[in-house]
Structure 1
Amino acid sequence: MSIWWSLHLRREAASVPLARRLLLGTMETAGVDPEISYDLSLALTEACANAVEHGGRTETGDVSAEYRVTAYLDGEKCRIEVADSGPGFPAGPAPAAPEPAPEAEDGRGLRLIEELADHVHFGNRSGRGGAVVSFDKIVKWRTGAPLVAS
């Protein structure tokens, strides 16, 4: 069984729960274990929140009004990608999630994604600019799941 969907969302806070609910509904319908679904939905929430907050200005200074979420549920793995058109991550080797200051009220989203997913990649879109956060997780299925891979 394979499911794939892609959303182009406005860079506004209301888009974040929309993406999360769509992912949770897809996972529930497919029969994915609720704990795995929750982990992935929380990681997606953090990635979308980052796109909304930081994906604003392009390299040319234009304001980007949207970002893209793509999810693949294929066999035993779910892969999610969130891409924006902002300035992207700093140049150089692939960035690691920075350690926030203990008193900081934000800055933990990328580290949380790393904890919730099995594999994470932070990078930049080639050509058009922007950040890409992609992550995947091995899927566990509920007993009697209606769409279990055969």
Structure 2
Amino acid sequence: MSIWWSLHLRREAASVPLARRLLLGTMETAGVDPDISFELSVALTEACANAVEHGGDRNTGDTGDASEAYRVTAYLDGETCHIEVADSGPGFPAGQPALVRRAAQDEENGRGLRLIEELADHVHFGNRTTRGGAVVTFDKIVKWRADAPLALT
């Protein structure tokens, strides 16, 4: 059995915990190990926070167009959870979408992408080819609780 969901969210701070809670609830219901669920939820939180902060075209003033939204898609299939967060902003720097900035220890910002890399098994930072925007995809091999109702072991 697989579980798939997709959210179209406004670029507002309140949307980030909504996506996180949906992921955590899905993982708990499916029977995914809580430590894995937590790691994925932190990675999702960072990706969504980046979409909220950087995912719009600031030159247009965000006047109700697509730049006010971002998309979260997740699926749990077999032993893998795959998550994608896509926005309509300027995207990653041309020719360097995989470059992850290393934040200094005392910096307040700049650690999110690095944290996603540390928490997930596979990560890809790229740009959408149509309509622009950044895409962050990551996946992780899941462990199941002993009493997991959806485990495919």
TM-score normalized with structure 1 length: 0.95
Give the root-mean-square deviation of aligned CA atoms. 1.4
Partner of 2:16 in structure 1? 16
- Read off the aligned partner of 1:11 and give its amino acid letter: R
1:94 deviates by 3.7
**Structure 2 stretches lacking a partner, 5+ long:** none
Q: Distance in 1 between matches of 2:152 and 2:50?
A: 32
SS state at 1:132 partner: strand
Structure 1 Cα separation of the partners of residues 80 and 5 of structure 2: 15
Residues 83-122 of structure 1 aligned to structure 2 (within 5 Å): 83-122=86-125
CA distance in 2, matches of 1:99, 1:72: 29
State TM-score, norm by structure 2: 0.93
Percent of counterpart pairs with the same letter?
Answer: 77
Q: Distance in 1 between matches of 2:68 and 2:97?
A: 26
Unaligned runs of 5+ in 1: none
What does the per-residue CA deviation read over 1:20-72, in whole Å, with 9 as the maximum and x for residues that have no partner? 000000000000000000000000000000000000107x8463110000001
Matched, 1:124 2:139: no
1:35-74 map, 5 Å: 35-57=35-57, 61=60, 63=62, 64-74=67-77
Aligned residues, how many?
Answer: 149
Q: Distance in 2 between matches of 1:93 and 1:86?
A: 16
The whole-number CA distance in structure 1 between the counterparts of 2:91 and 2:97 is: 11
Superposed counterparts of 1:127-142, under 5 Å: 127-142=130-145
